Amino acid sequence: MFPIDERVDAGPRSGAEPQGTDEATVAAPEPTLFELPAARSPAPAARRPNEKEGSAPVFETIDAAAEKLSIEAGALRARCRRAARREGDKVVAPLGGGIVAIKFGRSWRVRFPTP
């Protein structure tokens, strides 16, 4: 009934070969001129920038800090203006409890102490 050299397709197969093609007729992909660089392994634990110990301090906007402190943003800006002190080339406003506001250009950013 069926010739012996004919293959019966039993449905989708696992593998990269498209369904219904013979292994002898599948051509290897041609190399391209521009290939992507090899994937890099993740940085060792000591060099990861998002670690708590070595990461840069997180500065919050006045609006976000005012919400955390349960005061109005305008009141927090005024408090920063009153407490402002020059330290070297920076303008810093210690607000108490380890909370420090730093002026970047014309805007204030607030740094909370790490727990």
Per-residue pLDDT of the chain (115 residues; tens, 9 = 90+): 555 655 555 555 555 555 555 555 666 666 566 665 666 766 666 555 555 556 777 899 999 999 999 999 999 999 999 999 999 999 999 999 999 999 999 999 999 998 7
Sequential DSSP letters for the chain: ---TTPPPP-S--SSSSPTT--GGGPPPPPPPSS-PPPPPPPPPGGG-TT-TTTSPPPEEEHHHHHHHHTS-HHHHHHHHHHH-EEETTEEEEEEETTEEEEEETTEEEEEPPP-
Q: What is the pLDDT of residue 8?
A: 56
Residue spans per domain, the chain:
59-111
Phi-psi label, residue 96: left if phi above 0, alpha if psi -120 to 50, beta otherwise: left
Q: Which pLDDT score is estimated for 1?
A: 54
- Give pTM, 2 decimals: 0.52
